Amino acid sequence: MKIYLASTSPRRKQLLEQIGIDFETIDIDIDETWDGREPAKTYVKRIALEKARAAKSKIQNNLPVLAADTSVVLDNLILGKAETKEDAINMLEQLSGRTHHVYTAVALITETEQVCLNISHVSFRPLSKSDILEYCETEEPLGKAGAYAIQGKAAAFIERLEGSYSGVMGLPLYELAKMLKTIR
């Protein structure tokens, strides 16, 4: 079965390919602004569903539409994506030596709408200033939630992961597989 992926994320594409899903991407643009008050769990589920709905509105058939949203959450605050090197440094300093949560919501639209939430706990080792600066020089943190990519160089910062590696990457495959079984 073919599905549409409401994302151009190379990581989400890679994860779908990993489990043999036939898909086509749809580029969508929605307002992902967090107001600072909406609970993070509610926010990621809402954004994933809005992405899926935006993609569904662009297609002229009944194929399933998949979307996801990932947020790095520390002290109940969403850290967002690092837009600049300074953003990345600030976020990595906050994450250093602490455990944070990664919430990834998956939305699947068929005849109905399904949304599930994966929560992972990621513990960073204490990071030195040089660890952070060297990592930021790679530019890998830019555009990444929480200013890091678990599948990249930041893997060396992670002392412990409780949850889903693919969920931290941006698409929890276990939950996705369960959702897809309901429509086959």
Domain total in the chain: 1
* Contact (CB, 8 A) for 101 and 120: yes
Q: Which of 22, 31, 35, 69 is catalytic?
A: 69
CATH of the domain at 122: 3.90.950.10
Q: Tens digit of pLDDT per residue, the chain (184 long)? A: 799 999 988 999 999 999 999 999 999 999 898 998 999 999 999 999 999 999 999 998 889 999 999 999 999 999 999 999 999 999 999 999 999 999 999 999 999 999 999 999 999 999 999 999 999 999 999 999 999 999 999 999 999 999 999 999 999 999 999 999 988 6
Active site residue 69: yes
Cα separation values, 174 from 63, 66, 107, 163, Å: 21, 14, 14, 11
Task: Give residue 170's region: left, alpha or beta (phi > 0; psi -120 to 50).
Answer: left
CB atoms within 10 A of CB 73: 20
The pLDDT assigned to 180 comes to 92
Q: Which domain does 8 fall in, by range?
A: 2-181
User: Minimal CA–CA distance to 93: which of 131, 44, 53, 54?
Assistant: 131
